[in-house]
Structure 1
Amino acid sequence: MNENLLNDTVDVVSYSINLSVVNLSSQQIQGMTEVRFTTPLSNISYLPLALKQLQVDSVKTDSYGPLNYTHTADLLHIQLGQPISAGDTSLVRIYYHGVPFHESWGGFHFSGSYAFNLGVGFESIPHNLGKAWFPCNDNFTDRAFYEYRIRVENDKLAVCGGLLRSVSSMCDGTKEFYWKSDRSLPTYLASVAVGPYVMLSDTFPGTEQDVPITWFVRPQDTARVNGSFQNLKEITHIYETCFGPYPFQRIGFTGTALGAMEHAENIAYPNGSINGGLSDEWLYAHELSHMWFGNKVTCSSDADMWLNEGWARWCETLYREHLYGEVQARGNMRSLAREVLRYAHISEGGYLPLSPIPSNLTYGTHVYDKGGMVTHALRGYLGDSLFFNGIRAYLDEYAYQPASSYDLRDFLSQYTNTDLTGFFDFHVFGPGFNHVSVDSFHVTPAGSHFDVEVFVRQKLKGAVIPAENCRSELSFMSHDRIVETHTITFSGWQGSSVFQLPFSPALVMADLYERNGDATTDNYQTIRATGLYDFPDTYFKMDVINPGDSAFARVTHHWVAPDGMLEPLPGLTLSDYRYWSVEGIFAEGFQATGRFTYNRGNALDNTLITSSADSLVILFRPDAGHEWQSVPFSRQGPWQLGIIYVPNLRPGEYTLAIGDELFVNAGDQEPGNVSLLKIIPNPAADQTEILLNRPETGRLTIHDSTGRTVYHKEVSTGDKSIRVNISGFINGNYLVNFVSRQGARHAARLIIAR
């Protein structure tokens, strides 16, 4: 079917859908749809519509009687009785019947005593499936008004969009429900559901008018509605406050065997989610937000689906912020970002722009989850006042119309007086993610204040060209933990700016409040007691042994490659995927052990750890101006998955790395170890003794975690022990390696800790 043919030829004004859904066991429908339409063209002698799988019985009009038509595949081609010109209005009635189409999710479904439609299909391309149950101009841009007359058996109800105007008895064991909507919609948002429903009702006191609420649910679910929807009014109020008045006549939910689908005023909602609890509250909050994003303003094509689904995904965070607080909201967005950054490019074959998105990924991870991240980042970029005022104005400007990503960019740029070209070019029209970090800062006293020059850097994940007009919040924290936040804007790989502060900062942190939507997942905690502290979504935990007075700790998991070695060493490979930073203000006496998770099988370290022969180490540097160095560590778990423990955790950056073959099988010394080598003491400070259980001629070497040889000695057959002065070695993990004259190799790990 040529979708462009329909779009260019037809502008449907209204649909009057008459549908008979009786004897559900036959899984057939019978219908007559009256299509009132106009055209932008001149002398059009035909009407193209879409109708899938159903059989057309006849096409009629008041003026010319039966009309000729052809119905091939999904295209219904109707010959008009007389050509019409631009601006003229005409009407046809199509009579049809049959078994309606459905795929695994979308289409028209029968489920026991129930029948219902879902307006889009995930597998069908194009995705619109209004054509599964009525003839229509089936796309995202053509909007029309709807009325529905649905005939069902007396023991059933029929629910559609709009308001219920009447119920009429047909005196044959059936009745007809008449619903009408006064809001224009694209076809995929039209809806019908039939079954032995029970209706529950309430009223939402909206900002402009009272809005009726209805639930049509199975009889066994009626007692669960209040528990599942206990916060519905408050969530609707949140959306009204942020986006403007509720844009439709009714708030409606109908229980269905499959869902959820944002049909206007009649959301198809899974029966299993009406469970009496709040476990799926996020789901109806998502669908409800579509009344603004997707229904009031609809994406102009499936290539811009993030304008519907990405914004609705972000609303799952927004409602939590207002209902449960910022901590829960940040946690929700952080876990979303973690999965996008970890896996979206793997599951969908690469780092993709949000627009245009390929049709086979219209309802995929990039659209929903990266779309949610980018919406969140746009809010952070503009700030709340400009963002929310701009979005309310945008929704009013494009009310009941389609809009594209360019429309959104241009409108918000003009309304907020902020050029959003750089933001949209990178985050919407380009692939991947960017990453802003603080390299260093310099403080200059200036009378009663301090001038702080901050140097920042932009890295990329899955992109090539850095963002122009890149913007990030910088939070300055004093030694007594006073925080002042400013914004830096720069283009290219690096930038700097001077900020005037009333104090000399101890820390300068990029995006402390997680508003950038960038390639990091991070959080912070105030630590006042001993114990194990989890930093969710960072793959890090901190085992605090002594908190001192109290400490502020922030851990960031960077989803980009760490800087390489200042002087590259053969045989040492740093992670190409991620690293950590630990920032904080730690009181004297603070002591903790860091727990860093490694995982080859979870799309984390699969490009670094390739086999059991790899020797995994962890490296440290205080900041970007220092070289990576070894630190004491131990490892728990098999080679594929486990935890690296770093005692005496220090502020700075940490990265995983693979050493060369010298590190293979250099496990920690444990009681009962039958290796030729034994090290006492271990860990050691200034002196250590290496015992040879079976003395033989060979060469003994000690290597730091970068693979560099720091000690060597030729060993004779009579040497049973070798004392080594290690006072000049820095703290860290070292490999003790002995190679006999016959080529046998033995290795053990030495930890130096002071």
Structure 2
Amino acid sequence: MKQCVKEDSMKKALLQLFTAMSISVFGQFNCQSTKLNPLPLQSYAPINYNSRSDTADLIQLKLTIDSRDFTNGKLTGIAAYELGAKLPFSSLRFDLLGFTVDSIVSLSGPLNFTQQGEHVIVNSSAVAGQILHWDFYYHGSTTKDASGWGGIHHDGPYHYNLGVGFAANPHVYGRSLFPCFDNFVEKSTLDEMNIITPAGKVGVSNGIYVDTDTLSNGDLVWRWEGQAPIPSYLVSIAVSDYFKQSWTHNGRSFEIYGRAQDTANMTAGFVNLNAIYDAFVEEFGPYRFEKVGYALTITGAMEHAGMVHLPRTLVNANLNGEDIIAHELAHMWFGNAITTKTAEDMWINEGFAEFGSHLYEEKVYSRSKYVQTVQNNQALVLKQVYQNDGGHLALSGVDQNQTYGTHTYQKGAMVAHNLREFLGDSLFSHASKELIASNTFGNYDAASFKSSFEGSTGISLENFWKDWIYNPGYYGTWVELNYPKNINSGNTSKQVNIHHLSAHTGNYKASQETTPVVVYKHSYNYGYGGKVVFGNSSDYPASSTDSTFTSQSMNLGAGQDFWLSTNDSAESLGSSVYDTFNWIDLNGTKTLPRTGVKITPKPNTTGLDGTFYVWHHYTAGNYTSNGATSRDHFYFIGYEGSHNPPIDYATELPFEVTISFNTNGNNGGLDSDLNGLPGNQMTVAESPNLKWKNGVPIANASTQALGNTGVGNITFTPQHVARYYYVVNTSTLSLEEKEGQGFRIFPNPTEGYLKIESLLDQKELSYEISDLNGRLIAKSTVPHKNGFSQLSLPPALTTGTYILTCDAGIAKFSVH
């Protein structure tokens, strides 16, 4: 469900227009989008009612719900409990919302109780080990939580509950149906669910259907029996004039309930349900509930154990709701067979279920479809999570208003994918099965989840949990040829820079040890060159002065007309996203969905008819700001094709590129390290190397700034087949710009040479000299000893101003 907000300010509308490219929204492919995105109604921690389950155990429940007055929003019920005292008590509190308790009766007679607000306090004593039988008789009006999602719905002919209240505290919402311990850890066997309905209506619930009794007036009692212990919020009731479609698969009953007008869609929309079920059994282990069931409703979706309540609009021949069908089925393993202990670790329930809605595509369709989905999900996270959840958060320990946020669902799924890639599918599957088998119908928090996975795999996940669970941020690697080291080199051994990337980590310093590294080769003359598995980022500890990269020689094969990319096939989802497109498919202007980059084709005079790659790397907090170049993100654009005769590295690409800039950190601007600098002096700089973290301003760039808001667009035409691009502000690019303390060039002005002073601890410096139009004049390396280098300027260099870009920084200099 989406919220629409009317903007009264023209300024806000213009801001939205300028930033639209960078907020490309993917189609609804996640369960969260079918639910109400939670409003920040509370900023405090969720209420935790778990402690009551240390006092008493609600062993078994027989629930009778009279739905005959549902059309008037009225319910009458009986909740008959068998409970056991774990500790001595003189009173016991239950949760119940909106109903009046008429009486509570034990085997020895009526019990004294008080009712106040959402609580019913039974004033009765018990000693440890005592077994009690209490029957609650209650009635009243049904209710929904403030979000309008959780609670009991009466939507025309549909009457049903949804067991989670997004705006409720606690979020578990069993109390909107019956008296209970409303927490995640108290699990009771729903021994019986008796649903009284008018004639012609069908009542469905958890467990196995047993029989239907007909009362003297023709009304019906639908009886269901359960065997699996479930928490209060997973109890299901749905009443309508349902028809049932059912079958048996691998010994399991599959039951779909919908009204007559939905039967055709039911047949078509669940066509892959058996295969989805098989995929999850293969990956996560045995199914633990009595049946696989779905009841079609108006609102949802909700993972009631063995009886999902699913919006009828998601069931159709187009299968555009199949991922949500899969998400809810995945909950039968993550959320239902095992459950988070508290709302603060909701990623265990929702993140892994959302991961299931991605994983099934690999099993049922193809690995490539799965990769596309998880990469789209990653791009959504990087673009929207800050705005949606009010910041970049750790997965574990979220607050009340963030329990069902983008971090929990989408980043949770992203991290589950990364865990699978980090361990390998075989170990990940084994660990998932052991997680459930060793604690079936139990609960986990982040620490015990980690301990279970470590115990079953024998692999330490300490750094993985620190990077991805306990701290905010995104992590990745990027491998590049160490330009200009490999120019005109026919050697098979190439010097590469292996960069450790991270973004939005706050005060946390990344371990740099949790990312698989797979390098892909792309030639602009000979096409795709295959991939090379480098291992793990832990194999390449950073050795640079700023502790962000290391340089090593790796066997990549002969040739020099190729460039590298990393983890193209989702070997890890981190701080980098990319789009690809083929020239033949570029029909008019196109905004790329993951990177938000706009591509406008031009005449293709050079015949570049291959594949183009556009990467967007997020690096906020990874590099120290220099006050001129945005260090929070950068782009890489590369071309892959086959050409004879070969094309040159300095070949112009046949399209314009438009990127956006936003220096306002309060609204998630990616260029906030340039906040306060004039927007009309924003431009794009290019560089052959990431290690420089700087670039030379492009002469053909044009800037469209929205006044002094710090928001705008920059359009340029790439002049090389593989190049990095940075947002820069030219107002601070002085004749002696300092990249960092200790960097300077002199003499300036000069006549024939330059000396470079820096604090870099390396034996040589790579450099480029270009004019103010971005035209390359010279490139090479020079020795760097005791913090100094000296280079001779080309004799043909005429009087004027030029730009030096090197490992230590970027600076203008003038020649007399």
Q: Please, what TM-score do these two structures have when normalized by structure 1?
A: 0.80
Which residue of structure 1 lines up, in the alignment, with residue 132 of structure 2?
90
Pairing partner for 1:34 from 80, 94, 115: 80
Which residue of structure 2 lines up, in the alignment, with residue 14 of structure 1?
60
Residue 487 (1) aligns with residue 557 (2) = no
**Does the 8 A contact of 1:131 with 1:138 survive in 2?**
yes
Residue 540 (1) aligns with residue 597 (2) = yes
Distance 1:389 1:705 in 2: 58
Report the more deviating stretch, 465-474 or 309-318: 465-474
Distance 1:662 1:406 in 2: 49
Residue 101 (1) aligns with residue 160 (2) = no
**Does the 8 A contact of 1:635 with 1:644 survive in 2?**
yes
Deviation of 1:503 after TM superposition, in Å, equals 3.1
Deviations 1:430-465 (A, max 9, x none): 11222323365588xxxx985866533333324333
Residue 574 (1) aligns with residue 629 (2) = yes
Distance change (3 Å), C-alpha of 1:519 and 1:564: closer
Distance 1:605 1:403 in 2: 36
Deviation of 1:637 after TM superposition, in Å, equals 6.4
Matched pairs, number: 661
Deviation of 1:501 after TM superposition, in Å, equals 4.1
State the SS of the aligned residue for 2:189.
Answer: strand
Which residue of structure 1 lines up, in the alignment, with residue 567 of structure 2?
511
Distance 2:84 2:213 in 1: 32
Which residue of structure 2 lines up, in the alignment, with residue 598 of structure 1?
660
**Does the 8 A contact of 2:266 with 2:316 survive in 1?**
yes
Which residue of structure 1 lines up, in the alignment, with residue 281 of structure 2?
240
Higher Rg = 1
User: Which amino acid in structure 2 is aligned with residue 334 of structure 1?
Assistant: Q
Deviations 1:411-430 (A, max 9, x none): 11222121101110121011
Residue 362 (1) aligns with residue 403 (2) = yes
Which residue of structure 1 lines up, in the alignment, with residue 690 of structure 2?
624
**Does the 8 A contact of 2:499 with 2:548 survive in 1?**
yes
State the SS of the aligned residue for 1:335.
Answer: helix
Distance 2:705 2:577 in 1: 26
Deviation of 1:705 after TM superposition, in Å, equals 7.4
Which residue of structure 1 lines up, in the alignment, with residue 105 of structure 2?
60
Residue 429 (1) aligns with residue 429 (2) = no
Deviations 1:377-411 (A, max 9, x none): 11121122221222122121221111111112111
Distance 1:388 1:158 in 2: 37
Distance change (3 Å), C-alpha of 1:518 and 1:530: closer
- Bigger fraction of residues in strand: 1
**Does the 8 A contact of 2:63 with 2:77 survive in 1?**
yes
User: Which amino acid in structure 1 is aligned with residue 442 of structure 2?
Assistant: Q
Distance 1:647 1:107 in 2: 55
Deviations 1:286-337 (A, max 9, x none): 1111111111111111111000111111222212223332333222222222
Deviation of 1:473 after TM superposition, in Å, equals 1.3
User: Counterparts of 1:295-310 in structure 2 under 5 Å?
Assistant: 295-310=336-351
Residue 176 (1) aligns with residue 176 (2) = no
**Does the 8 A contact of 2:48 with 2:170 survive in 1?**
no
Residue 312 (1) aligns with residue 353 (2) = yes
User: Counterparts of 1:369-448 in structure 2 under 5 Å?
Assistant: 369-438=410-479
**Does the 8 A contact of 2:772 with 2:802 survive in 1?**
no
Which residue of structure 1 lines up, in the alignment, with residue 182 of structure 2?
138
Pairing partner for 2:700 from 633, 638, 641: 633
State the SS of the aligned residue for 2:355.
Answer: helix
Q: Which runs of no fewer than 5 residues in structure 1 stay unpaired?
A: 664-702, 707-724, 733-754
Deviation of 1:227 after TM superposition, in Å, equals 2.1
Deviation of 1:509 after TM superposition, in Å, equals 3.1
Distance change (3 Å), C-alpha of 1:630 and 1:394: same
Q: Which runs of no fewer than 5 residues in structure 2 stay unpaired?
A: 1-46, 735-770, 775-796, 805-816
Distance 2:608 2:56 in 1: 73
State the SS of the aligned residue for 2:266.
Answer: helix
User: Which amino acid in structure 1 is aligned with residue 214 of structure 2?
Assistant: S
Distance 1:418 1:6 in 2: 36
Which residue of structure 2 lines up, in the alignment, with residue 464 of structure 1?
507
Distance 2:367 2:105 in 1: 59
State the SS of the aligned residue for 1:466.
Answer: coil
Deviation of 1:488 after TM superposition, in Å, equals 2.5
Distance change (3 Å), C-alpha of 1:262 and 1:489: same
Deviation of 1:123 after TM superposition, in Å, equals 0.3
User: Which amino acid in structure 2 is aligned with residue 394 of structure 1?
Assistant: L
Residue 260 (1) aligns with residue 301 (2) = yes
Pairing partner for 1:48 from 83, 90, 93: 93
Deviation of 1:40 after TM superposition, in Å, equals 2.0
Distance change (3 Å), C-alpha of 1:549 and 1:596: closer
Deviations 1:496-526 (A, max 9, x none): 5868647348544332222322111124567
**Does the 8 A contact of 1:10 with 1:48 survive in 2?**
no
Deviation of 1:165 after TM superposition, in Å, equals 0.6
Distance 1:529 1:180 in 2: 57
Structure ranking higher on relative contact order (CA contacts 8 Å, 6+ apart): 2
Distance 1:484 1:171 in 2: 75
Deviations 1:72-118 (A, max 9, x none): 112211123x52323x3211101000012212000122222332111
Residue 474 (1) aligns with residue 518 (2) = yes
Distance 2:510 2:406 in 1: 22
Which residue of structure 2 lines up, in the alignment, with residue 190 of structure 1?
235
**Does the 8 A contact of 1:472 with 1:510 survive in 2?**
no
How well do the aligned residues superpose, as a CA RMSD in angstroms? Answer: 3.4
User: Counterparts of 1:326-365 in structure 2 under 5 Å?
Assistant: 326-365=367-406
Distance 2:84 2:204 in 1: 29
User: Which amino acid in structure 2 is aligned with residue 55 of structure 1?
Assistant: T
**Does the 8 A contact of 2:477 with 2:517 survive in 1?**
no
Which residue of structure 1 lines up, in the alignment, with residue 318 of structure 2?
277
Report the more deviating stretch, 539-548 or 416-425: 539-548
Which residue of structure 1 lines up, in the alignment, with residue 15 of structure 2?
none
Distance change (3 Å), C-alpha of 1:9 and 1:562: closer
**Does the 8 A contact of 2:67 with 2:74 survive in 1?**
yes
Distance change (3 Å), C-alpha of 1:396 and 1:496: farther
Distance 1:499 1:68 in 2: 80
Which residue of structure 1 lines up, in the alignment, with residue 114 of structure 2?
70
User: Which amino acid in structure 2 is aligned with residue 7 of structure 1?
Assistant: S
Report the more deviating stretch, 626-635 or 108-117: 626-635
Deviations 1:712-744 (A, max 9, x none): xxxxxxxxxxxxx99988899xxxxxxxxxxxx
State the SS of the aligned residue for 2:334.
Answer: coil
User: Which amino acid in structure 2 is aligned with residue 650 of structure 1?
Assistant: V
Deviation of 1:277 after TM superposition, in Å, equals 2.5
Q: Please, what TM-score do these two structures have when normalized by structure 2?
A: 0.74
Distance change (3 Å), C-alpha of 1:504 and 1:183: farther
Deviation of 1:178 after TM superposition, in Å, equals 0.5
